[in-house]
Structure 1
Amino acid sequence: MDIMKQFSLEGKVALVTGAAYGIGYAIAKAYAEAGAKIAFNCRGQEHMDKALAAYKKDGIEAHGYICDVTREDEVQKMVADIEKELGTIDILVNNAGIIKRIPMLEMKAEEFRQVIDIDLNAPFIVSKAVIPGMKKKGHGKIINICSMMSELGRETVSAYAAAKGGLKMLTRNIASEYGADNIQCNGIGPGYIATPQTAPLRTPGHPFNSFILSKTPANRWGTPEDLMGPAVFLASDASDFVNGHILYVDGGILAYIGKQP
């Protein structure tokens, strides 16, 4: 067995939702370097133009599609277009997501529903759209971007934690339901990653920044690049007997009780 070939994505078609920047972009870039053809979505043309320019600058031929992943009709059309232009999707990364940091008693039900819709309903919709092609082809990889909030609660993130906890169980259920079709569904649970979403929390002197560093054995924020290797592993043949697993890439936070005061 050539172990390096086990990690190759040569010729595979990968759809990474919300891969205009941040974690999704880093994962798509890793897949391209491993040999995959890259498809991604944006909800608007402005973000799409910026993303395509970034991919081009990095020497990546990425195929962008305007699509709202909470709308089943748009998702079905996007998947059909990808299959027509690139081939059957081998790898799906459900990365698109939002967070609203609002105390529960101040959060409107409409705001709660919006987070659930994007962070939980959309992965269901997109997975549902790609699974038939994967079944027909005889294999497939679905990777859901979960969170430490799939395991832990924290003030102001009730909707996000509820969505990511649900996504963890959706991951396990897809693995249970379609494992016999040689489809592996796993999750990645990032720790606190330096992205535009977390930028407000990482300002110098911000108490949350100090809190995170004190709770992380690695003593730093993660980077999108820290997720590239785990994402390639879960998309490759090397993980063919890994199913229903959440791989936490968190610098050790979930293993650590914290320093004694």
Structure 2
Amino acid sequence: MSVLDRFRLDGRTAILTGVGPGVGEHVAKAYAELGANVVISARSRERLDRIAGEINAADGGRAIAIAADAGEKADLERLVAGARDAFGPIHIVFNNAAAGVVYAADGGLWANTDEVWKTAMEVNVMATWRLTELTEADMRAHGKGSIISVQSCGGFTPIPPAVAYGVSKVSGVSANGTDLRL
């Protein structure tokens, strides 16, 4: 018996946002390797198709790709509906999408325009809330679930001039370690 057998996710369905090269891709592949049905999402369809193809080519891998903008409520509704249509109830939500970073070359502090603030809050805060709201009934029905939100050091230590990004990441930090009773 492998130590990883304790972490099997057979038959469970996981939605992952912000899947690109890096954390999202690696977590999606790990979930699939542990037996989960994986629903990967990001704005870039080409990358998603590649990752889903690699997961499905692996022994026992089951993945679908749904292009969606985490900052758009209708896209998140479509993502959850597509996940349920493909695999049934949702067990895991992995919030990895992020937005709102600006750089000094973009104009410094004043590059944090109203649009940057709106995007940062929609993707980094509201998407997490919306996906929780959309999947809570599934998790309640089977008596358990996991909602995981990737945070950033920018939420703990400001990284000027990315003020909007930092503030939006602080919003999620206060929930770290909170036991969400459904």
The bucket for the TM-score relative to the shorter chain is: 0.7 to 0.9
Question: Is the contact between residue 102 and residue 111 of structure 2 (CA under 8 Å) also seen in structure 1?
Answer: no
Alpha-carbon distance between aligned partners in 1 of 2:133 and 2:152, rounded to the nearest angstrom: 21
Q: Deviations over 1:15-50 (max 9, x none)?
A: 111213221001111111112111111324334334
Q: Does 1:23 align with 2:28?
A: no
Task: Give the corresponding residue for 2:162.
Answer: 157
- State which drifts further: 97-106 or 124-133: 97-106
Match of 2:75 in 1: 74
What secondary structure, in the 3-state scheme, does the structure 1 residue paired with 2:9 have?
coil
Find the aligned partners of 1:61 and 1:119 in 2 and give their Cα distance. 27
Q: Distance in 1 between matches of 2:124 and 2:102?
A: 11
CA distance in 2, matches of 1:48, 1:72: 20
Closer/same/farther in 2, CA of residues 65 and 106 from structure 1, 3 Å limit = closer
Q: Identity over the aligned pairs, expressed in percent? A: 23
Alignment of 1:130-145 (within 5 A): 130-145=135-150
Unpaired runs of 5+ residues, structure 1, are 182-261
- For 2:175 and 2:86, the matched residues in 1 are separated by 29
Query: 1:106–1:83: structure 2 CA closer, same or farther, 3 Å change rule?
Result: closer
Select which of 110, 129, 132 maps to 1:127.
132
Structure 2 letter corresponding to 1:101 = Y
Structure 2 CA distance for aligned equivalents of residues 82 and 167 of structure 1: 24
Which of residues 96, 99, 102 is equivalent to 1:100? 102
Deviation at 1:54, TM superposition (A): 4.5
**Stretch deviating more after TM superposition (114-123 or 87-96):** 114-123
Asked if 1:83 corresponds to 2:88, the answer is: no
Residue 113 of structure 1 is aligned with which of 111, 118, 129? 118
Give the Cα separation in 1 of the matches to 2:130 and 2:117: 19
Q: Report the CA distance between 1:93 and its aligned residue.
A: 0.3
**Residue of structure 2 equivalent to 1:240:** none
Contact 1:95 1:144 in 2 (8 A): yes
Structure 2 letter corresponding to 1:119: N
Distance 1:105 1:16, change over 3 A: same
Secondary structure of 1:20 counterpart: coil
Q: Which one has the largest radius of gyration?
A: 1
Distance 1:112 1:131 in 2: 27
Contact 1:18 1:97 in 2 (8 A): yes
Counterpart Cα distance in 1 of 2:20 and 2:159: 28
Matched positions, count? 176
Q: Is the 8 A contact 2:39 2:65 kept in 1?
A: yes
Query: C-alpha offsets along residues 41-91 of structure 1, whole Å, 9 cap, x if unaligned?
Result: 132433433433454566643211122222222322321221222121111
Residues of 1 paired with 2:20 and 2:63: CA distance? 10
Are 1:69 and 1:125, in contact at CA under 8 Å, matched by a contact in 2? no
Identify the residue that residue 33 of structure 1 maps to in structure 2. 33
Residue 51 of structure 2: aligned partner: 51
Q: Is contact 1:69–1:126 with CA below 8 Å preserved after alignment?
A: no
